[in-house]
Structure 1
């Protein structure tokens, strides 16, 4: 009987040590996560500080998360692209104009839609301009990637509309987004 008791006691002691370490380190991990979020958001919304996440319960299914700062918002969006969902962070000033835009995730066609990750010329079309963007009107599409371009415009429009309170067409395209 004593032989079985020793491993059980060792297991309980190890579990207690693990829980104690977790309790000690959890606040540090949360602080680091908040610090990283503040840094990333400040890159997308220059001059913004002290970002806090707001609960979002609106009807626009493109909005995933909202981070508020004194100068504006950083809004995480998820829209349907040509091949899969496109996740973007959009910095929006309090007047609804776009301060920054970063595509976080996408699985678009290599050489075509994937250009949206790094094409400064394409992404800069949205910066410091109006609050509504339409490919073919005030936004030039990426060559060979019209669906991706429209998806990113939709993401930016959703973010801007959140701040201004405007209605935005978040209807599906023929590709599902």
Structure 2
């Protein structure tokens, strides 16, 4: 009986080692493929918020981390665009902490003049059929940010219509669009305040 138990234990150990080795091998084989896919998705997202004709560099390879509570509790990745080596645009990730169901992560394109060139939702947990209209595949609402700029930090236009602004809210869901509008406004304010230093930072998205 004891020998049978020991034998089974050894077989289980061998099986566990074999499974671990197989998982590691599959991970090794697919790691490069996953990395390439992630890079392609990033390039696609950047092109949706910043017109590729507005920069001559590869924005996906010109990344910095911005650390400021106004744009997120954690460092936010920002991609820099240059046209013939002159700063032309950024694509900034920013977190809206006040979504209906928690954090909403956005990618906001802003040109050198401080005008939004595009906005996309990267991640959220908003209610399907209501708050998820912040996804481009669900509605064109995010396109209403294109061409928007900020005259002053207390610009009354930067609010949903229910709050006296110019942005539509969703039927049955005001909290979600309000969070997006406020986050986008903070992105422009941050960019205008720190435009010069943003482009002077060393290019790296590796956290310390």
SS of residue paired to 2:148:
coil
State TM-score, norm by structure 2: 0.59
Question: Does the Cα contact within 8 Å between 1:88 and 1:102 map onto a contact in 2?
Answer: yes
Task: Work out whether residues 41 and 74 of structure 1, in 8 Å CA contact, stay in contact via their aligned partners in 2.
Answer: no
| Residues 51 and 67, structure 1, Cα contact 8 Å, conserved in 2 | no
Asked if the contact 1:115/1:142 (under 8 Å) is kept, the reply is: no
Are positions 1:68 and 2:74 aligned together?
Answer: no
Could you tell me whether the CA contact under 8 Å between 1:79 and 1:154 is conserved in 2? Answer: no
The alignment yields a C-alpha RMSD, in angstroms, of: 3.5
Q: Which residues in structure 2 correspond to 1:38-77 (within 5 Å)?
A: 38-47=43-52, 49-52=58-61, 53-62=63-72, 65-70=76-81, 71-77=89-95
Q: Tell me what 1:159 maps to.
A: 187
What is the aligned partner in structure 1 of residue 28 from structure 2? 23
Supply the distance in 1 between the matched residues of 2:99 and 2:26 (Cα, whole angstroms): 43
Q: Equivalents in 2 of 1:78, 1:25: separation in Å?
A: 33
Contact 1:45–1:91, Cα closer than 8 Å, also in 2:
yes
Residues 79, 152 of structure 1: 8 Å contact kept:
no
Spell out, residue by residue over 1:43-79, the C-alpha distance to the aligned partner (whole angstroms, 9 max, x if none).
Answer: 1222164325432321215476323032422323224
Which whole-Å CA distance do the structure 2 matches of 1:103 and 1:130 have between them? 19
**Unaligned residue ranges in structure 1 (runs of 5+):** 167-177
Residue-pair matches, total: 164
